[in-house]
Amino acid sequence: MALVTTTEMFKKAYHGGYAVGAFNVNNMEIVQGITEACREEKAPVILQVSKGARAYANHTYLVKLVEAAVLECPEIPIALHLDHGDSFETCKSCIDGGFTSVMIDASSKPFAENIAITRKVVEYAHDHGVVVEAELGALAGVEDEVSVDADNAHYTRPEEVEEFVAKTGCDSLAIAIGTSHGAYKFKPGTNPQLRFDILEEIVKKLPEFPIVLHGSSSVPQEYVQMVNTYGGAMPGAIGVPEEQLRHAAKLAVCKINIDSDLRLAMTGTIRKFFAEHPDKFDPREYLKPARANIKEMVRHKLINVLGCAGKA
């Protein structure tokens, strides 16, 4: 199967009560860990690339890595998505360069400006058979070097979504209901709670429309402890409770973004490896267990969080 857009994936996910995982990729081992789990579990998958990933690994290397995964996993649908596109030019470069889906994130701009830039991206993308994710609302945390503090974060306003989708023609909408980017999503000792009431209001206004959740790593404590045990310092790293993500996936949320969990699994595993094998220096030896742990973590998400195992 060639690279696909997310259109069919989202239609099935919406009606099937599950979400497709959107995992950020930055190198070969991450691509392999994710797609091997998806192939074995027969799950559709979105591989997404941020502006930072393109700066780090180079657009062509990332596209070719994803194309290699498509060849290795012909049984499952794979979409290649631009995460947090910051301008028309970045989106155009990905549309021209082989992506099947782009996000234009103008959520920090005033409403009318967000509509105008999103509309421009949608027109170009649709002319080229590519789909577009847009965003309304502001998540806290750091995304592509832009840091939004808790005071400037705000939930998506349900009263704005109908007009936004109608005027932009976007294919899916990322919303802010309490998730945030990074590994420190909630204060220790508090009770993490997503705003399902806002999600339900939005669904009433946009029936059958695919909703996206960013900042949806669950920050597995197993890996936080591994990092902290082997020389790291990540006190108080807390993510979104998995049962709340599962609940969101049963509603209109069709795409759930996960990046920090991949980073934690990789970093924790490598830290442990070096602590236990101070004499080793072959990158294949420490990247192999890191890739294996990414694969098992993704498998767990597909089965227990996203509910998309067996849906390819």
User: Is 83 assigned a catalytic role?
Assistant: yes
Residue 80 near which of ligand 13P, ligand G3H, Zn ion, none (CB within 5-8 Å, type-dependent): none
Q: Token digits for 148?
A: 């939004």
185 binds Zn ion (CB under 5 A): no
Residue 258 near which of ligand 13P, Zn ion, ligand G3H, none (CB within 5-8 Å, type-dependent): ligand 13P
Compute the C-alpha angle 108/109/113, nearest 5°: 150
Point out which residues bind ligand 13P (CB under 6 A): 24, 83-84, 181-182, 214-217, 257-261
Q: Which is nearer to Zn ion, 185 or 214 (CB)?
A: 214
Point out which residues bind ligand G3H (CB under 6 A): 24, 50, 52-53, 83-84, 143-144, 181, 259
Query: To the nearest whole angstrom, how small is the minimum distance from the Cβ of residue 143 to Zn ion?
Result: 5
Query: To the nearest whole angstrom, how small is the minimum distance from the Cβ of residue 277 to ligand 13P?
Result: 28
End-to-end CA distance of the chain: 11
Q: Which is nearer to Zn ion, 51 or 272 (CB)?
A: 51
Q: Which is nearer to ligand 13P, 43 or 262 (CB)?
A: 262
b/e map 42-77, b = 16+ CB within 10 Å: ebbbbbbbbbebbeebebeebbebbeebbeebeebb
Query: To the nearest whole angstrom, how small is the minimum distance from the Cβ of residue 81 to Zn ion?
Result: 11
Q: Which is nearer to ligand 13P, 81 or 291 (CB)?
A: 81
Residue 244 near which of ligand 13P, Zn ion, ligand G3H, none (CB within 5-8 Å, type-dependent): none
Q: Token digits for 292?
A: 């294996």
Instruction: Please tell me the distance from the alpha carbon of residue 294 to that of residue 23, in angstroms, as a whole number.
Output: 11
Backbone angles phi, psi at 167, to 5 degrees: -80, -25
Instruction: Please tell me the distance from the alpha carbon of residue 304 to that of residue 66, in angstroms, as a whole number.
Output: 25
Residue 53 near which of ligand G3H, Zn ion, ligand 13P, none (CB within 5-8 Å, type-dependent): ligand G3H
- Exactly one of 83, 86, 105, 259 is catalytic; name it: 83
Q: Which is nearer to ligand 13P, 217 or 269 (CB)?
A: 217
Sign, Cα dihedral of 240, 241, 245, 251: negative
Residue where the block lists tokens 């009770």: 191
Segment 202 to 221, residues that bind Zn ion, using CB under 5 A = 214
Query: To the nearest whole angstrom, how small is the minimum distance from the Cβ of residue 257 to Zn ion?
Result: 5
Residues carrying an active site annotation: 83
Residues engaged in binding Zn ion (CB under 5 A): 214
